[in-house]
Amino acid sequence: MRRHLVLRVGGRASTRTLLRAFAVTAALAVLTVLAAVIALGLGEMRISAVDVVRALVSDAGTAIETVVVQWRLPRVLLGVVFGAALGLSGAVFQSLTRNPLGSPDVIGFDSGAYTGAVVSIIAVGSTALVIPSALAGGIATALAVYLLAYRRGVHGFRLIVVGIAVTALLGSVNTYLLLKARLWQAQMASVWGAGSLNGLDWSDARNGTLVVLALLVPLLWLGRRLRMLELGDDAAAAMGVAVEPVRLALVVVGVSLSAVVTALAGPIPFVALVAPQLARRITRAPGVQLVPAAVTGAFLLVTCDMVALNVPPQALPVGLMTIILGGAYLVWLLVAQSRKELR
Amino acid sequence: MTLEASKVTFGYRDRPVGTGLDLAIAPGSFTAIVGPNACGKSTLLRVLSRLLKPTEGAVLLDGKAIAHQPSKQVAKRLGLLPQSSIAPDGITASDLVARGRFPHQSALRQWSRADEAAVRDAMAATGTTDLADRLVDELSGGQRQRVWVAMVLAQQTELLLLDEPTTFLDIAHQIELLDIFAGLNDEGRTIVAVLHDLNQAARYASHIVAMRDGAVYAEGAPAEVITEATVEAVFDLPCKVVPDPVSGTPLVIPLGRAQRHR
The 10s digit of each residue's pLDDT in A158-217 is 888 888 899 899 989 988 988 888 888 888 888 888 888 888 899 999 999 999 999 999
Residue in B84, B103, B113 closest to A232 by CB: B84
B72 interaction partners in chain A (CB closer than 8 Å): 239-240
Q: Is the pLDDT of residue A144 over 60?
A: yes
pLDDT for B262: 60
On whether any CB of chain B is under 8 Å from the CB of A237, the answer is yes
Q: Is the pLDDT of residue B97 over 90?
A: yes
Nearest-neighbour CA in chain A from B86: distance (Å): 5
Q: Is the pLDDT of residue B140 over 80?
A: yes
Task: Read off the pLDDT of residues A50-73 as tens digits, 9 standing for 90 and up.
Answer: 888 888 887 766 888 888 888 899
Nearest-neighbour CA in chain A from B67: distance (Å): 12
Q: How many distinct helices (H) and strands (E) make up chain B? A: 10, 12
Taking CB atoms and an 8 Å limit, are A228 and B110 in contact across chains? no
Q: pTM for this one?
A: 0.91
Taking CB atoms and an 8 Å limit, are B83 and A234 in contact across chains? yes
Alpha-carbon distance B46 to A238, whole Å? Answer: 9
Taking CB atoms and an 8 Å limit, are B87 and A98 in contact across chains? no
Domains of chain A, earliest start first = 4-338 (1.10.3470.10)
pLDDT for A10: 77
Q: Pick the range with the lowest mean pLDDT from A77-91, A276-290, B88-102, B234-248.
A: A276-290
Domains of chain B, earliest start first = 1-77+157-235 (3.40.50.300), 88-156 (no CATH)
pLDDT for A153: 65
**Do B156 and B189 contact (CB within 8 A), yes or no?**
no
- In the chain, the amino acid numbered A337 is Q
Residues 6+ apart with CB under 8 A from A268: A82, A86, A195, A261, A262, A301, A318, A319, A322
Q: Pick the range with the lowest mean pLDDT from A105-109, A296-300, B84-88.
A: A105-109
Chain B residues 88-147 within an 8 A CB cutoff of chain A: 88-92, 95, 99-100, 102-103, 105, 107-113, 115, 133
Taking CB atoms and an 8 Å limit, are A286 and B91 in contact across chains? yes
B85 interaction partners in chain A (CB closer than 8 Å): 231-232, 234-235
- Select from A5, A98, A239, A241 the residue whose CB has the most chain B CBs within 10 Å, as the one to mutate to test that interface: A239
Taking CB atoms and an 8 Å limit, are B82 and A16 in contact across chains? no
Q: Mean pLDDT throughout B154-176?
A: 94
On whether any CB of chain A is under 8 Å from the CB of B195, the answer is no
On whether any CB of chain B is under 8 Å from the CB of A232, the answer is yes
Q: Is the pLDDT of residue A129 over 90?
A: no
Taking CB atoms and an 8 Å limit, are A231 and B133 in contact across chains? no
Nearest-neighbour CA in chain A from B18: distance (Å): 19
Q: What is the mean pLDDT of chain A?
A: 88
3-class SS string, chain A: CCCEEEEEECCCEEEEEEHHHHHHHHHHHHHHHHHHHHHHHCCCCCCCHHHHHHHHHCCCCCHHHHHHHHHHHHHHHHHHHHHHHHHHHHHHHHHHHCCCCCCCCCCCHHHHHHHHHHHHHHHHCCCCCHHHHHHHHHHHHHHHHHHHCECCCECHHHHHHHHHHHHHHHHHHHHHHHHHCCHHHHHHHHHHHCCCCCCCCHHHHHHHHHHHHHHHHHHHHHHHHHHHHCCCHHHHHHCCCCHHHHHHHHHHHHHHHHHHHHHHHCCCCCHHHHHHHHHHHHHCCCCCCHHHHHHHHHHHHHHHHHHHHHCCCCCCCHHHHHHHHHHHHHHHHHHHHHHHHHC
Chain A residues 41-80 within an 8 A CB cutoff of chain B: none
Q: Mean pLDDT throughout A238-247?
A: 94
Q: Is the pLDDT of residue A16 over 80?
A: yes
Task: Read off the pLDDT of residues B11-37 as tens digits, 9 standing for 90 and up.
Answer: 987 788 999 999 999 999 999 999 999
Q: Is the pLDDT of residue B250 over 60?
A: yes
B74 interaction partners in chain A (CB closer than 8 Å): 240
Here the ipTM equals 0.93
A267 vs A77, more confident: A77
Model confidence band, residue A334 (pLDDT cutoffs 50, 70, 90):
confident
Residue in B72, B87, B99 closest to A227 by CB: B99
CA atoms within 13 A of residue B98's CA, in its CB half-sphere: 21
Residue in B70, B85, B89 closest to A235 by CB: B85
Taking CB atoms and an 8 Å limit, are B89 and A12 in contact across chains? no
